[in-house]
Amino acid sequence: MKTARELGLIPEGRLEPGPGNAITDVAGVAVGHRSLRGEGLFTGVTAIVAHPGDLFRVKPRAAVEVVNGFGKSAGLMQVAELGTIETPILLTNTFGVAACTEALIRRAIAANPAIGRKTSTVNALVCECNDGSINDIQALGVTPADAEAALDAARPGPVEQGAVGAGSGMTAFGFKAGIGTASRLMRIGKRDFMLGTLVLANFGAAGDLVLPDGRRPDPRVPASPERGSVIVVMATDLPLGDRQLQRVARRGGAGLARLGAFWGHGSGDVVLCFTTADPVEHDPAAPVAMQQRLSDSYIDIAFRAAAETTQEAVLNALCAAPATPARSGRIYPALTDWLKESSAA
């Protein structure tokens, strides 16, 4: 499947994408998927690993922005309070949160047997969307072993997009959607930095989607209330404080709004942003640590990158996903099919 950029949906004049136009353009970040099929299951798990080391011992700085809090994610409260993450980030369906949480806790304990005994407990970070229109969510199909498989599959480099991993059963704006990613190069002074975004797109009312050229694709499905969700995960190597990370995360909402989203009552819209710069040691060698931090006078380029990558990542999720039948028998169409029909008209 072609990306939104390959289909000509991304206009000129924006920031330059990274070499892979993916969250993995941020050095050290890896992504893996586990997809489940059969016996009513059309779901999975997607893992985002911030760096290849021990995340509990070397914690990336992070922040969370809850755009609309209709959701059942795990671990967000501690991220908001302490400004760090200490496990990989797992994405899954709403009823898969417990299984993924267990997998993260067990993996952290295996690497650090002192967890919960001689040192603190671990904050497992799992975010979710409801894929019940396509997947039999009541089957509780996601297991800790599936979460482990996604973690084991995590690699740097190209990221598979569309109906894969956690995105298997997700829809957006009446079309089939799922996982999407994009990145932007940020030149600040004489240095280059990267910001990459990965989305789990499962939001937007049918008929509300607005393409960058102003067209409004029609999925030809009955109108319904906006009851989906979207998880946006941003990674950067820019040295940012936790307050700045939250400000960058907040701009993910601008990318969603560009697409026509209005963050409906029943939509769980969450943005996580972490930086690989200046991580926090679990056992610091000294009571005071130095931290690099971008001057706020230069932060607008990160705001722009956050909005642009969020918008493009959602479009990539839509463009990469094929038409898929719902459990009700209706078809969630592919955006690419609409684009072909539109260009032929």
Question: What is the pTM for the complete model shown?
Answer: 0.97
Q: Which of 73, 229, 237, 242 is catalytic?
A: 229
- Which carries the bigger pLDDT value, residue 246 or residue 267? 246
CA distance 91 to 83: 20
- Is the confidence at residue 200, as pLDDT, over 80? yes
Q: Is 342 an annotated catalytic residue?
A: no
Q: Is 269 an annotated catalytic residue?
A: yes
Closest CA to 33 of 196, 155, 212, 135: 155
Q: Which of 269, 295, 337, 342 is catalytic?
A: 269
- Is the confidence at residue 345, as pLDDT, over 70? no
Confidence of residue 13 (pLDDT cuts 50, 70, 90): confident
Closest CA to 88 of 44, 64, 113, 54: 54
Q: Which of 35, 73, 133, 267 is catalytic?
A: 267
Q: Is 133 an annotated catalytic residue?
A: no
Rounded to an integer, the average pLDDT of 187-194 is: 96
Please give the mean pLDDT across all residues of the chain. Answer: 96
Rounded to an integer, the average pLDDT of 19-23 is: 98
**307-334: b (≥16 Cβ within 10 Å) or e:** bbbbbbbbbbbbbbbeebebeeeeebbb
